[in-house]
A and B are shown apart, each in its own frame.
Chain A
Amino acid sequence: MTGEPRVRAEEVVVTACPDGPLLVRGPARLVDQEGNEIERHRATVALCRCGGTAIPPWCDGTHKVNGYRSGDDDGRSTASEAGTGA
């Protein structure tokens, strides 16, 4: 176990889904332009990327019917250091 930090901060991981939303896992704080907290209703959320959603900022599957193409080929994940809250 040497070298392993005993407590590891939980990472925020954002996954870009091809032709679809951004999946957000981990303790990311989501705020609106005034800085007000946007309430998350579930542990993993999908943020709209196509602009067509009826329930912003969340994905509602509209990308499947409006022809949205993300231009990325695969669901590449990007990890950042943990935020706090949520």
Chain B
Amino acid sequence: MTSTAVPAQVPDAAPASPTAPAAGEPVPGASMAPGTGRLPLPRPRGPLTAALLGVLVDGPPGADAAERLRPVQDAVDPALDEADGRVLRDDDVQLALAVLYELHYRGVHGVDDAWEWEPALLAVRARLEAPFEAAVRERAGRPACAETDAAGVARRLFELAAEDDGPSLSRYVAKRADAEQARELLALKSLYQLKEADPHTWAVPRLAGTPKAALVEIQADEYGGGRPGRMHAELFARAMRGVGLDDTYGRYVDAVPAVVLAAVNTMSLFGLHRRLRGAIVGHLAAFEMTSSVPSRLYGNGFRRLGHDADTTWYFDEHVEADAVHEQIAARDLAGRLVEQEPALRDDVLLGAAACLAVEGDVAAHALERWQAGESALRAPLEPVTVSPAPGEPAEDGDRPRA
């Protein structure tokens, strides 16, 4: 294990299991590839998540699932009232959504897999998603675009990304971040980056022709082009280990603020609903378009702090990869999709604008906290207790480039 740092004040995430160990239970000392485990069971952040997590860890759903979920249903309206006007910043609502969505990814520690398709639980999710989607749409605004040809849509997407006036986290990291802030950056990003590309992969079976080929072309690169050691999620795990963080999937779920959960939930919302396939495509395009230049700055920041090529490999890889991906995503993916299905144009733009907005909220949050001399996490990381270990030697052909 390369575990070194854990968030302070966050106890063992493992639930007390009265019976056999839950599926996905980590075996102490076992060497597990990053990202293969389940999301650790998060700590509740309010009455809604207290009720939800309580039901989910209490065995598989049965005929009485709807009955057992009644306390959760009862907690939804008060939680939404409480979150009114700030759904994207509400810890209780965002954590509930994150847990419900996670059932479709790696699952949640101590939660039976059968909950994923339990209709009564999906009904709870739907009640949370309606105001969540409304909030995402409001936050994204309504970017307009007159054209429906691939070149015109691509041009508009590049414009949106260029016009984005959100604060620059990458510039701060390049010039000013200290070692602790650099570690916090990776902890903040880890909730998504350890499953990097997965939310967009949901779109593959929902597309056809050129856009499908384009998405698979991008995703194949994201997943390492057939080499597990080059998967972007794996490169991110190496970076985490390099700064002395625990690269266990979801390890910092209790440490990240609501804005981080909201950013990941936005991808899950777009990715899991076929009707929003335009939005997940637009989200990917914007994500790629705002990655290559910032990645260079992030890499410079980590080099300035003395980190080696193994640790900065993740960022160096993204400088080159995303300069390719943004071109494919803008024209062959998003542009051609709008040509195929002109009715999806507004959703493509929505997805792009939503990506820029919610990711911008994360950046603004971190900068605000750091500039105030505070932690951007809900609880500061514990100091590094052993010297940072970059991990095992790279496999042949899977080496960082100097």
User: Which A residues contact B (CB, under 8 angstroms)?
Assistant: 15, 17-18, 20-21, 23, 41-46, 54-55, 58-62, 64-65, 73-75
What are 13 contact pairs spanning A and B, CB under 8 A?
A21-B323, A21-B327, A23-B328, A41-B401, A42-B321, A45-B324, A46-B324, A54-B296, A54-B319, A55-B320, A59-B292, A61-B326, A74-B151
Q: Indicate if the CB atoms of A58 and B158 lie closer than 8 Å.
A: no
Given contacts A46-B327, A59-B320, A74-B151, 11 further A-B contacts (CB under 8 A): A17-B331, A21-B324, A21-B327, A23-B324, A43-B217, A43-B221, A46-B324, A55-B319, A55-B320, A59-B323, A60-B319
Q: Indicate if the CB atoms of A58 and B320 lie closer than 8 Å.
A: yes
Query: Complex: how many Å from CA A74 to CA B147?
Result: 14
Known: A17-B331, A18-B151, A43-B225. A59 touches B162 (CB 8 A): no
Closest to B321 in A: A42
Most buried by A among B151, B154, B317, B323: B323
Chain B positions within 8 Å of A54 at CB level: 296, 319
Q: Which of B154, B162, B225 sits near A42, CB closer than 8 Å? A: B225
Q: Indicate if the CB atoms of A43 and B293 lie closer than 8 Å.
A: no
Known: A18-B151, A43-B221, A75-B151. A60 touches B292 (CB 8 A): yes
Q: Indicate if the CB atoms of B331 and A75 lie closer than 8 Å.
A: yes
Closest to B220 in A: A43
For the complex, is B155 an interface residue (Cβ under 8 Å from A)?
yes
For the complex, is B347 an interface residue (Cβ under 8 Å from A)?
no
Query: Complex: how many Å from CA A74 to CA B332?
Result: 12
Query: Complex: how many Å from CA A54 to CA B296?
Result: 9
Q: How far is the CB of A52 from chain B (nearest CB, A)?
A: 11
Known: A54-B296, A61-B292, A61-B319. A44 touches B155 (CB 8 A): no
Q: Which of A43, A46, A73, A75 sits near B323, CB closer than 8 Å? A: A46
Chain A positions within 8 Å of B151 at CB level: 18, 73-75
Query: Complex: how many Å from CA A64 to CA B160?
Result: 12
Chain B positions within 8 Å of A64 at CB level: 158, 162, 293
Q: Indicate if the CB atoms of B328 and A60 lie closer than 8 Å.
A: no
- B371-402 contact mask (Cβ, 8 Å, vs A): 1 or 0: 00000000000000000000000000000010
Most buried by A among B296, B317, B320, B324: B324
Query: Complex: how many Å from CA A29 to CA B338?
Result: 34
For the complex, is B322 an interface residue (Cβ under 8 Å from A)?
yes
Q: Indicate if the CB atoms of B221 and A65 lie closer than 8 Å.
A: no
- B310-352 contact mask (Cβ, 8 Å, vs A): 1 or 0: 0000000101111110111001000000000000000000000
Q: How far is the CB of A23 from chain B (nearest CB, A)?
A: 6
Query: Complex: how many Å from CA A75 to CA B162?
Result: 20
Closest to B155 in A: A18
Q: How far is the CB of A86 from chain B (nearest CB, A)?
A: 13
Most buried by B among A20, A61, A64, A73: A61
Query: Complex: how many Å from CA A11 to CA B328?
Result: 18
Query: Complex: how many Å from CA A21 to CA B235?
Result: 25
Chain A positions within 8 Å of B221 at CB level: 42-44
Q: Indicate if the CB atoms of B322 and A61 lie closer than 8 Å.
A: yes
Chain B positions within 8 Å of A60 at CB level: 292-293, 296, 319-320, 323
Chain A positions within 8 Å of B217 at CB level: 43-44
Chain B positions within 8 Å of A18 at CB level: 151, 154-155
Closest to A75 in B: B331
- The residues in B between 74 and 128 inclusive whose CB is less than 8 angstroms from any CB of A are none
Query: Complex: how many Å from CA A74 to CA B221?
Result: 25
Chain B positions within 8 Å of A65 at CB level: 293
Q: Indicate if the CB atoms of A61 and B220 lie closer than 8 Å.
A: no
